[in-house]
A and B are shown apart, each in its own frame.
Chain A
Amino acid sequence: MVFAWTMVVIVLAFIACLFEDLESDEGSQSNPNSQVQLAPEMGYIHRYYNKAISGEGLSYALACTIAGTVAWAMLSKGITPVIAIPFGAGIGSLVHMIRATIPHLGRESAHKRFEQPIYLDVLFGHLVPIATHNFMAVVCITAIAYIQSPSGPLAAITGLPVAANNPFPLPLLCFIWGITVGAIGSSTGDIHYGTERLFQDRPFGEGRRVVYHGQICRYADCGIRTSKDVVAFCAKYGGPATGLTFGLIVLFENWRTLIGMMAGGLTGASLNPGVAAGVGIVIGLIIGAVLIVGNLYLVKWARKKFGPFVGE
């Protein structure tokens, strides 16, 4: 049972981070936003959505914590989790959507002297996609936190020497996973958006030089690009890769803890805590070593295949 619930958590984690990254691309949140912010100052008037709520980690911590709190309050009133979790996530993404309107208006009107207009169709047209992508991410995170929390199904599994759930309460778990999912989404998924999609009219296969900064690609396959066009592009590589990151992290974190618990006697009458913790740590260190070797191989492969920089 513990393994089955862990698999559910991992699948939810993959979906959560996939949608998290796509949602941040939807309105150019986090780091690539610096280019969307810079563009009008360079004379590049654009039709991107400027969603500088805060870093992704914090804005997801906000949405997920509100969702977790509402779900927690409803659960404490005896409402079934099937209703409480989506309802909480709905409130969380509603707040997120309200927060998302503020920066577009504020930052675009602060670009008055660069003659950047506020396009109302850009403002209204992005709100629902932002809310829906956010809802998918938040509902998954809230469900993960619920499964792992002391009020969730993992805690209800009896017959184990220790409780299989995490001791943190539901809102705090939502906060923790919200920060983590945002941190991962901004550090991996943004690369595909910032490096490739925002500078698609620049040469492929090189770092974006400082002189390109602010000179973003403003035209879509047909017409003028809005942030909605970005999502379709990033959904092909950046989003799934980001989802994979969070899924793998949750997978290996839970897997090594569970293997450690099995080695310490999960099915027996009592758990040897020292063995359980130690085995988990050793497995984690082995995974870490494999990761370093993987990166060595990847960098070596890229150097051999791509070769030294050519061009000016």
Chain B
Amino acid sequence: MGEEEKAEEKPEEKEKFTLHFPNENNLAIIAVIAGVIVSILPVLPAFVKGIGAILVILWGADSVRKTARYGLGTGVPSIGVLAMGYGIVGGVTGIVIGSVPALGGGGIVEPGVLVGVAAVGVVGYISGILANNEKFIGMKIPGLERGMAELGMAGALAVIIESSMIAGTWNAAVVIPEIIENGLIALIFILAAFGMLQPYNSCLGADERRGRTLLVSVEIGGLNCIILGVLASLIQGMAQGVPLIALGAITWVLFYSAYVRACLNEAHSVVGTGLIKTMR
């Protein structure tokens, strides 16, 4: 299985695969800009949207990490699902509002969809106040208001971008029959939710490191691109689908191997097999 080789590689590989992610604020700004650009320009090819989706999911995963590390009381995944619960409501509303011709629906630049995203950001912020304020639920998590607003917006953007990756546009005339009534919305829901909730849940521990956790999010983003690319090639044709699958496959291989190497490097020790340390 190559255990020996991996163990031997350890000294020279150290620090080599550590990616330097921008800090939390910069990552949020980059993700918002990328997400907004790819969502208001549905004419972009699917693989460009794929990059936007990966960044948006990465932003969501970072928000999950910074809120869930204080302990939520009911497990890390819940807040990622909350993001997608809001994301579905905001995304569907945004898709319908954005399709209104007066707001640019049907044109090249379609900014109307951002109304839904902004609205669900407000809903998220208000629910963050409700959850954090001592007069209400009183969770006392620093930055929970901002975290929930970010999660709602990331969820809505993920729904919009992933819909437009599959269908080529997020216009209601196409998305409602092709994506929602076929049930593909459930796939979008769970894929985006996993990109946000799994990284921190899976890397939780005393020696958790942000750089390593976020690698998982990008890796899931790559995997999502492969699955969505297959659907895109069914619905839009190979010209859109194949570059998306290629993008997904490259991202997945790069970041998966980077993550595995990072883990094996940073673990206490990596052994092929062995007995446990006895203590009694």
Contact = CB atoms under 8 A, between A and B. Distances in A.
Q: Do chains A and B touch in the complex (CB under 8 A)?
A: yes
B181 interface: yes
A15 B206 CA distance: 38
Interface residues of A, number: 57
A43 B275 CA distance: 14
A108 B274 contact: no
A112 B207 contact: yes
Contact of B263 (A69, A77, A105, A170): A105
Contacts of B201: 52-54, 103
Contacts of B75: 55
Nearest to A76: B234
A118 B81 CA distance: 30
B204 A115 contact: no
Interface in B178-207: 181-187, 189-191, 193-194, 197-198, 201-207
A47 B219 CA distance: 26
Contacts of B270: 117-118, 120
A19 interface: no
Contacts of B194: 54, 58, 62, 99
Contacts of A43: 279
Interface in B40-95: 75-77, 80-81
B277 interface: yes
A173 interface: yes
A113 B240 CA distance: 47
A193 interface: no
B268 A116 contact: yes
Interface centre among B223, B256, B259, B277 (most CB of A within 10 A): B277
Given A43-B279, A106-B263, A111-B207, A169 B181 contact: yes
Contacts, number: 180
A224 to B, nearest CB: 6
A170 to B, nearest CB: 6
Contact of B273 (A72, A95, A121): A121
Contacts of B205: 37, 106-107, 109-111
Nearest to B182: A169
**Chain B interface category by residue count:** 35 or more
B260 A58 contact: no
A173 B207 CA distance: 39
A45 interface: yes
A41 interface: yes
Contact of B276 (A46, A103, A107, A173): A46
A233 interface: no
A171 B186 CA distance: 7
A45 B234 CA distance: 49
A117 B263 contact: no
B32 interface: no
A218 B279 CA distance: 11
A101 B216 CA distance: 11
B187 A119 contact: no
Nearest to A149: B183
Contact of A118 (B80, B190, B271): B271
B181 A112 contact: no
Contacts of A73: 230-231, 234
Identify the interface centre among A72, A98, A105: most chain B CB within 10 Å of its CB: A105
B15 interface: no
A168 B216 contact: no
B12 interface: no
A113 B275 contact: no
A44 interface: yes
Contact of B182 (A41, A113, A171): A171
Q: Top 8 nearest A-B pairs by Cβ distance?
A: A110-B205, A169-B183, A172-B183, A106-B203, A103-B202, A171-B183, A175-B186, A105-B263
Given A46-B276, A58-B190, A109-B267, 13 more contacts: A58-B193, A62-B194, A69-B184, A69-B187, A103-B201, A103-B202, A109-B268, A111-B206, A115-B268, A117-B274, A120-B3, A224-B275, A224-B276
28 contacts: A45-B277, A52-B204, A53-B198, A54-B76, A54-B197, A61-B190, A65-B186, A65-B190, A68-B186, A69-B183, A69-B231, A77-B234, A95-B227, A103-B201, A105-B264, A106-B213, A106-B259, A107-B203, A109-B262, A110-B209, A111-B206, A117-B274, A119-B271, A121-B273, A171-B184, A172-B186, A174-B186, A224-B275
